[in-house]
Amino acid sequence: MKTITSTSNEKIKQAVGVRKDGFGRGAIFIEGARALETVLKARGVEFDRLFVTARFISKKEGELLAAEITSRGAEAFIVSDEVMRKLSDTQSPQGAVALAGMEEKRLESIKPSQTKSGEINPDSKYFIVALDGLSEPGNVGAVVRAADAFGADAVVALSGTSDPFSPKAVRASAGSIFNVPVIICGRGEFIKWCKAQNISIMAASPRGGKAVFAADLTGRLAVIFGGEAEGVSGELESAAQGLIHVPMPGRAESLNVAQSAAICLYECQRQRRAAT
């Protein structure tokens, strides 16, 4: 491996640019052994560059991980601790950062499938999670993680939503960002697509509509979760076939959007499994 000790190195500047600008630069910034191990198992992801510290690859696990990534064609560099601090998006760098290319997905590529192997079941029904104006990347990543856990076919990031491929969102997803298709598009395009596919839209609301446990969530379905402050936009509420909420008999005023999403998506999965 080549060594980089200067924070002014052009490759370091490019990597920092990807970290700051996200998928807009055509690459994904991935940090930490756990996230890198997840990406190795993902489909459609190609490693471009790997940056590691000498301390990271001095350990057997780090050495094996770096070897696996470089075997996939990644250009690898050993960097100084100072350079790793420049690269890292965390206060305590883990010693490994990579840039990877990933095919941009579109709504038309979504196929209904709820199998871990990714094989398409022609009898399955669409189960889509949409994010409308979620500004906090940690919440975006956490909802992607819940969507992956409960078998969603895709996550759609709509207008005003934080970049789901930002480093913080990727970390919060615990690697799920690479397991479930994530599409970025506008509200109007999404509404039009749902109508064309005969997909019912359910919008999560703080207290409006039916309790999530009383709503029918078994058909072709898209569940939308709105921003922490504004909620689901009026445009999407108007297009929705119904509103759902999580009943809260306790004294808490509200739930974090990621907590609410996890409850709603669990109920979606429970109903859909019971219906098969």
Check: CB of residue 15 under 8 Å from CB of residue 51.
Answer: yes
Question: Domain holding 139: CATH number?
Answer: 3.40.1280.10
Are 98 and 111 within one domain?
no
Q: How many domains does the chain have?
A: 2
Amino acid 124: pLDDT: 58
Are 213 and 119 within one domain?
yes
Asked which of 82, 102, 122 is the last residue of a domain, the reply is: 102
Are 229 and 152 within one domain?
yes
Q: Which of 121, 172, 171, 131 is nearest to 151 (CA)?
A: 121
What's the whole-number mean pLDDT along residues 104-112? Answer: 85
119-174, pLDDT tens digit by residue? 545 445 789 999 999 999 999 999 999 999 999 999 999 989 999 998 889 889 98
pLDDT band at 113 (very low <50, low <70, confident <90, very high): low
231-257, pLDDT tens digit by residue? 889 999 999 999 999 998 898 888 899
Structural domain including 93 reads: 2-102
Asked which of 102, 120, 154 is the last residue of a domain, the reply is: 102
Check: CB of residue 164 under 8 Å from CB of residue 141.
Answer: yes
Are 16 and 137 within one domain?
no
Amino acid 276: pLDDT: 76
What's the whole-number mean pLDDT along residues 81-102? Answer: 92
Whole-model pTM: value is 0.86
Are 170 and 72 within one domain?
no
Q: Which residues contact 153 (CB under 8 A, 6 or more apart)?
A: 110, 111, 112, 113, 114, 126, 127, 128, 180, 181
Q: Which of 160, 166, 138, 158 is nearest to 17 (CA)?
A: 166
Are 88 and 154 within one domain?
no
Are 97 and 119 within one domain?
no
Are 171 and 228 within one domain?
yes
- The Cα–Cα gap between 223 and 147 comes to 10
- How remote is the C-alpha of 104 from its chain's centroid? 13
Check: CB of residue 140 under 8 Å from CB of residue 175.
Answer: no
Asked which of 76, 102, 128 is the last residue of a domain, the reply is: 102
Tell whether the model's pLDDT for residue 26 goes beyond 80. no
- The Cα–Cα gap between 265 and 185 comes to 21
